[in-house]
Structure 1
């Protein structure tokens, strides 16, 4: 089984690339979905979050108020580190279980979608890293246009992640999502052919598509 990581800074187009790769036949393990599962009501992670941040981070139905917590941690690096220390281990356990299930099924290509791959130091745990990248001004505009975020909040979310240049040097493959959306499927198809023909294991070669 080939186990790859898919990452990219916020609003770069990573989710779209994940969907395209899934359409080609890859098994996608989505860290965002796992994070939601990890903090479901009654979970140890949610209890730890409430203990640390207080009951104001809960909605009336007992679920996590993700937008409120997001606003809080993206503007406070110490709070963000505390949240990551709670959530990331729980997510990793869930991901390991999904990977084991995929291996047992005999899935050929498994791709773990991990937004903060480099920030948490997981880039060397995979057979290769796919980075989806777009210029920061474009990502800022997408956050404001598509998610309705104020500029200051959108910029804080961008600033909370490593700059793209730092990540590009550690990626195996790079998909630049810097033009018309119609070009993205072709770039993903080219990457899929590369993966199918020459699955690289442990390479750090930078191949831009």
Structure 2
């Protein structure tokens, strides 16, 4: 019997840090961000649909998706972000479902469903337990500006495009507080694995 952990957070909250730690223990990660890139690779129906909607201006010189250019468009306009999600969302969900079925069939004890928009996209329905990686807003803003080399205004715009972390915190079964040290965050992950008898 597989336990599916729905892992989420906000942009620059540290979700990837937790996901990497779980991967180091050998647990498989169904990563929505990786899948989101796969479904819009050159030659896919996803990229053709995006190009049709947003124009070929979103492509790089070699025909790939210019993610920075697309980001500038959709994070400045909620309507266009919704159109992007309407195209990519079903494609991502299909691949996620395929991977979950295969991993459950293989008898994996823990499967990590790593989805930034876990609650927004109702992916919690696929999970047995949900975990949010939480940081306060000031820390989140500082980390995003430093990581993506964004102005405060651009970083706030991206944070505002997602549900507030406090709302996700209230919905999650498990909260990992990432306001403190890396060691403290890692210990919370170990505590979760121990609770479910999954420590390796």
Smaller-chain TM-score bracket: over 0.9
Q: Secondary structure at the match of 2:12?
A: coil
What CA distance in whole angstroms lies between the structure 2 residues aligned with 1:192 and 1:179? 20
Query: 1:119: how far off?
Result: 1.4
Q: Secondary structure at the match of 1:110?
A: strand
TM-score for both structures, normalised by structure 2: 0.94
TM norm structure 1:
0.91
Q: CA RMSD in A?
A: 1.2
1:5 and 1:126 in contact (8 A); partners too: yes
Contact 1:50 1:57 survives alignment (8 Å): yes
Matched residue count: 197
> In structure 1, what is the equivalent of residue 41 of structure 2?
40
CA–CA separation in structure 1 for the residues paired with 2:195 and 2:103? 21
Q: How far off is 1:107 after superposition? A: 1.0
Distance 1:44 1:139 in 2: 34
Give the 3-state SS of the residue equivalent to 2:111 in structure 1.
Answer: strand
In the alignment, which residue of structure 2 is the partner of 1:204? Answer: none
- Residue 150 of structure 2 is matched in structure 1 by 149
What is aligned with 1:165? 166
SS at match of 1:42: coil
Aligned to 1:84: 85
Tell me what 2:134 maps to.
133
Matched position secondary structure for 1:41: coil
SS at match of 1:161: coil
The residue that corresponds to 2:108 in the other structure is 107
Structure 2 residue runs without a partner (length 5+): none
Report the Cα distance in structure 1 between the residues aligned to 2:85 and 2:196, rounded to whole angstroms. 31
What SS class does the counterpart of residue 71 from structure 2 fall into? Answer: helix
Mapping of residues 54-69 of structure 1, within 5 Å: 54-69=55-70
Deviation at 1:182, TM superposition (A): 2.5
Does 1:98 find its partner at 2:62? Answer: no
Instruction: Show the counterpart of 1:203.
Output: none
Distance 2:23 2:65 in 1: 29
The residue aligned with 1:123 is 124
- The alpha carbon displacement at 1:13 in A equals 0.2
Name the residue aligned to 1:13. 14
Give matches, 1:169-188, under 5 Å: 169-188=170-189
TM-aligned CA deviation for residue 146 of structure 1: 2.1
Moved more, 142-151 or 34-43: 142-151
Distance 1:91 1:195 in 2: 29
Structure 1: which 5+ runs fail to align? 198-209
Compute the displacement of 1:194 (Å).
1.6
The answer to whether the 8 A contact 1:71-1:153 is kept is no
SS class of match (1:29):
strand
